[in-house]
Amino acid sequence: MLGAPSVPGMTDSPVPPMDSEVPEDKGQLARRTVLVAGGVVVTAVGVAGALSVNASAQERGGPHPPKGTPPASGEACYTLTSELTEGPYYIDADKIRRDVTEDQEGIPLTLDLKVIDADTCRPLRNAAVDIWHCNATGIYSGYEASSGGGGGPAPTGAPPSGTPTGTPTGGPPPGGGGGHQEPTDADRFLRGTWHTDRHGQVTFKTVFPGWYQGRCVHIHVKVHVDGEWTDAGYEGGHTCFTGQLFFDEKSVLASALVEPYVSNTTTRTTLTEDGIYPQNGHEGGLLYLKYDKRHIGRGVHGHLTLGVTPDETNDGEGGGGGPAPSASASASPSATTG
């Protein structure tokens, strides 16, 4: 069960408001159908020149549409967004909230996600979406004793290009497809769960992630369906998608010039060196980003449409996510699967 403890200073209720379109069997998701339980329209304060919330219009030219006829609305259809490893630092939805920042310093990030059925292109309404990521200095809440750390200079120079060199050593990172670890502390910053609205959209407020040894900058994401929202949170159902969201090198290099990121001296793995990112662009989780290139510290707006298969279970615990990191991106086992 995804719990719903009280969050100081927030009035969001975990139970979506009802409307006239809600049928009696609101908690059920039929094959290839739209979730029909009630939703809310999420409004977020973006940076200047923020993108429209119509993700399908924004993302033309992204992942290629699969075979089939798009819905009557003309919305672009997308291939399945790459399934990736859960990593070792997932905690089962302690916080039902959209603003996951808490007291963490960093560049404000507004993250807009749209969840659609990859076969029908129809939005998944009332799905539960989890995000979690490290802070500016590479620390995951709940795992301060085992995440982050390392030495080396902050990233400098031009973004890399081409395919990373070096011969991978050994097999997949220890711990299988996720190598889950039990939390070592009670902190839960930069973690949260919220529901998609009737358009399949959900917005989170967080900060631009930092980096840690062995991984490029990323955010973890899960999508749960077939459950029911109650006063206690989200109950039942199954996880239909587990993936990661990525940031291009230009944005990461720009962030590295701003506090507190400039204080992160951990050797950074680039996007092309990362052993988890599938190197397939937006289909693999690469975010569309908008920000003032001269003043990234004012905020970043990221968005992506996630094409998922709601009938399947993909919990990210059984592998996936590409080869092990190359010798040039070696790291501890916990870092390479995070």
Query: Which H or E element spans position 334?
Result: helix 333-336
Q: Hey, which of 89-98, 181-190, 228-237, 254-263 has the most confident mean pLDDT? A: 254-263
Are residues 246 and 284 in contact, defined by beta-carbon separation less than 8 angstroms?
yes
Residue type, 311: D
pLDDT tens digit sequence for 265-294: 999 999 999 999 999 999 999 999 999 999
What does the DSSP assignment read for 200-243?
Answer: SEEEEEEE----BTTB-SEEEEEEEEEEEEETTEEEEEEEEEEE
Tokens 């590479």 map to which residue? 138
- Percentage of the chain beyond pLDDT 90 is 53
- What is the rounded distance in angstroms from the CA atom of residue 214 to the CA atom of residue 163? 17
Handedness of CA 251, 253, 255, 257 (dihedral sign): negative
pLDDT tens digit sequence for 64-121: 444 344 444 444 576 788 999 999 999 986 689 999 999 999 999 999 999 999 999 9
Burial class of residue 167, CB neighbours in 10 A (0-12, 13-18, 19+): exposed
Average pLDDT over residues 148-153: 41
- What is the rounded distance in angstroms from the CA atom of residue 25 to the CA atom of residue 197? 18
Are residues 194 and 41 in contact, defined by beta-carbon separation less than 8 angstroms?
no
Diameter of the chain measured on Cα atoms: 59
pLDDT, position 109: 98
pTM check: above 0.85: no
> What residues pair up with 169 in beta bridges, in sequence order?
none
- Percentage of the chain beyond pLDDT 70 is 61
Name the band, by pLDDT with cuts 50, 70 and 90, for residue 173: very low
73 versus 128: the higher-pLDDT residue is: 128
